């Protein structure tokens, strides 16, 4: 119906212009605007690919405009301070304040509904506890490494050059240098921008083996040795999976593989590069540990660990059995959450694949405790960690230290425009468009990263004092509470199962919920033994 009205309107407008021109010829200049609009409308009415535009010429295009600007409308006009899309405005504002060094207090009490199911808090203490003057750091690789690393409690999580812009990578690295904390490279290898920033690096090696890749896409030990010997590289992390898309590989289109990317990743220029879902170098738990040992030796004794999002519980238990049988150990395990992160991912993977972060941290901690391995291995928590309370919560569930990705992006100036995957990031953080990332000034943004880290660690120390704990190691799950109904609350030690030390090693002590999976786990295979 509208299409017919559009045709009629076109005829009427043209006739009117022609008639008026007979007495006032300047009206013809209006065709400069009218003619293109009519042409566009006629194209909409005659094309066959979009029903809305065909039925509603010109007007139907507004639908696509509103879809395009929907995130901005949501963010600036609709969402409340406590709404999460995916990071709530309240937290984003706090990060901006800390990054800028602005006042971060708020008036008039909390804006959260403390009676809502899911509300969480930490229990304060009436006893006086001396406040720590400086951050208590964590030594990783103390007993097995010639070059152990003394790590901050909060570091930059894995984000590759390619997903982030060169200026963003350099600013993160420089911020890490200023604050003496670590910057995980992500699987895209070590770039000149990591080096230029000067920060401590955790070199992540994914299934594509970028930076240590041979011509066939396999692992090249000589290239690994060359990069691992860099002084900036303080630890090496083998990526088994990530929270954004666990069990999913990646494809870097050939059009994006320019000379610089090709050199950094060790791939041919202009050739599409596939990151497989799984590693080629090993396919068993024992094989993984052998690879860990090999990398530790070839790096000159630097700490080596692996990162994963927990999928099948039996696979983590199989790795524990392999540790027990071989005596080989990773120096750390990074546990990511299945709720997704900065990596662009299919919706189904971000929404519905992998164990959520909190459950993953608790499970990994329990698996190591039950196997008698916990003292040998540090756990790094990753997944929506942006405040001191978030860190307290992760430490209560078994972590030793934390990584933050989105928090660090927001400190750089990210506005959560949700355009990380289409190369149009308006702040220049997650884009390779030079016109956009040139607006991100490294010398301005690096101090913001530093200040955010410093202020967040400061909030952690203040919270430790408030809850009557002198060290992060003393945080216990009974100190954190969650409302589970309108009338009931539970502490984390009631909500989560925490099994006794060494209980998996004695058949008579194995908890009932662990018995079946422990029996099915094998050091020789990731698959279930039936």
Per-residue pLDDT reduced to its tens digit, 92-140: 999 999 999 987 777 778 888 888 999 999 999 998 788 888 999 999 9
Domains: count for the chain: 2
Shared-domain flag, residues 63 and 165:
no
Residue 304 belongs to some domain of the structure: yes
pLDDT at 342: 63
Last residue of a domain, one of 436, 470, 504: 470
Asked whether the predicted pLDDT for residue 282 surpasses 70, the reply is yes
Same domain, 152 and 47: no
* Domain boundary residue, one of 47, 68, 89: 68
Asked if the structure places residue 341 within a domain, the reply is yes
Query: Is beta strand 233-239 parallel, antiparallel or unpaired with respect to 304-309?
Result: parallel
Give the pLDDT score at 172. Answer: 98
Which string of DSSP letters, residue by residue, matches 211-227?
Answer: TSB-TTSSB-HHHHHHH
Strand partners, 304: 236
Contact 81, 111 (CB under 8 A): yes
Model pTM? 0.90
Considering the domain architecture, whether residues 227 and 312 belong to the same structural domain is answered as yes
Do 38 and 147 belong to one domain?
no
Whether 330 and 426 map to the same domain: the answer is yes
Whether 63 and 148 share a structural domain:
no
Pull the structure tokens for residue 478: 């009974």
**42 and 143 in a common domain:** no
277, 249 Cβ separation under 8 angstroms? yes
Same domain, 167 and 34: no
Question: Does residue 516 fall inside a structural domain?
Answer: no
CATH number of the domain where residue 186 is located: 3.20.20.70
Tell me: pLDDT of 328 over 80.
yes
Q: Does one domain contain both 45 and 170?
A: no
| Domain membership flag for residue 74 | no
Model confidence band, residue 84 (pLDDT cutoffs 50, 70, 90): low
In the predicted model, is pLDDT for residue 343 greater than 70? no
pLDDT digits (tens, 9 = 90+) for 178-228: 999 999 999 999 999 999 999 999 999 999 999 999 988 899 999 999 999
Domain boundary, last residue among 448, 470, 492? 470
Please indicate, yes or no, if residue 444 is contained in any of the structural domains. Answer: yes
| 177 and 62 share one domain | no
Q: Which domain range does residue 304 map to?
A: 138-470
115-153 burial code (b ≥16 CB/10 A, e <16): eeeeeeebeeeeeeeeebeebeebebbeebbeebbebbb
In this structure, is residue 151 part of a structural domain? yes
The answer to the question of residue 32 being in a domain is yes
Q: Do both 60 and 143 map to the same domain?
A: no
Mention every residue, 6+ apart, whose C-beta is less than 8 A from residue 29: none
> In this predicted structure, which of 173-182, 198-207, 232-241, 276-285 has the lowest mean pLDDT?
276-285
* Domain co-membership, 15 together with 144: no
Q: Is residue 359 part of a domain?
A: yes
């Amino acid at each position: 119906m509208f299409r017919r009205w559009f045709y009629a309107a076109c005829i009427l407008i043209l006739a009117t212009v022609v008639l008026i021109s007979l007495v006032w010829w300047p009206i013809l200049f209006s065709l400069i605007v009218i003619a293109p609009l009519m042409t566009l409308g006629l194209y909409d009415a005659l094309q066959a690919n979009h029903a809305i535009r065909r039925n509603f010429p010109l007007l139907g295009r507004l639908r696509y405009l509103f879809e395009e600007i929907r995130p901005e409308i949501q963010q600036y006009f609709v969402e409340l301070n406590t709404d999460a899309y995916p990071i709530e405005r309240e937290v984003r504002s706090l990060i901006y304040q800390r990054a800028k060094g602005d006042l971060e207090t708020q008036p008039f009490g909390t804006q959260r509904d403390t009676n809502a199911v899911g509300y969480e808090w930490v229990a304060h203490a009436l006893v006086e506890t001396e406040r720590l003057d400086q951050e208590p750091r964590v030594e990783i690789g103390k007993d097995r490494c010639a070059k152990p690393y003394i790590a901050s409690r909060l570091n930059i999580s894995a984000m590759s050059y390619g997903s982030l812009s060169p200026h963003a990578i350099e600013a993160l690295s420089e911020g890490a240098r200023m604050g003496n904390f670590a910057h995980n490279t992500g699987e895209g290898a070590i770039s000149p921008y990591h080096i230029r920033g000067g920060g401590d690096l955790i070199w992540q090696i994914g299934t594509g083996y970028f930076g240590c890749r041979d011509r066939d896409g396999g692992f090249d030990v000589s290239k690994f040795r060359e990069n691992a010997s860099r002084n900036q590289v303080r630890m090496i992390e083998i990526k088994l999976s990530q929270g954004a898309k666990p069990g999913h590989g990646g494809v870097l289109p050939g059009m994006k593989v320019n000379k610089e990317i090709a050199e950094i990743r060790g791939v041919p220029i202009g050739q599409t590069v596939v990151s497989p879902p799984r590693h080629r170098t090993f396919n068993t738990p024992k094989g993984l540990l052998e690879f860990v040992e090999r990398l530790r030796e070839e790096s000159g004794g630097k700490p080596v660990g692996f990162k994963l999002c927990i999928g099948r519980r039996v696979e983590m238990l199989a790795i524990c059995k392999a540790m027990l049988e071989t005596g080989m150990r990773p120096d750390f395990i990074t546990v990511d959450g299945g709720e997704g992160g900065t990596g662009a991912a299919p919706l189904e993977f971000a929404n519905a694949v992998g164990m959520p972060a909190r459950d993953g941290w608790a499970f990994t901690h329990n698996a190591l405790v039950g196997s008698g391995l916990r003292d040998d291995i540090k756990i790094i928590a990753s997944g929506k960690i942006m405040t001191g309370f978030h860190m307290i919560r992760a430490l209560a569930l078994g972590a030793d230290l934390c990584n933050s990705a989105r928090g660090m992006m927001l400190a750089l100036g990210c506005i959560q425009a949700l355009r990380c995957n289409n190369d149009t990031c308006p702040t220049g953080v997650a884009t390779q468009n030079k016109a956009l990332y040139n607006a991100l000034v490294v010398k301005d943004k690096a101090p913001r990263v530093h200040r955010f880290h410093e202020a967040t660690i400061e909030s952690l120390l203040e919270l430790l004092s408030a809850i009557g704990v002198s060290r992060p190691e003393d945080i216990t799950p009974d100190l954190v509470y969650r409302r589970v109904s309108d009338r009931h609350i539970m502490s984390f030690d009631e909500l989560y199962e925490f099994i006794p030390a060494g209980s998996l090693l004695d058949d008579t002590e194995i908890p009932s919920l662990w018995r079946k999976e422990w029996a099915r786990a094998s050091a020789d295979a990731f698959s279930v033994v039936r």
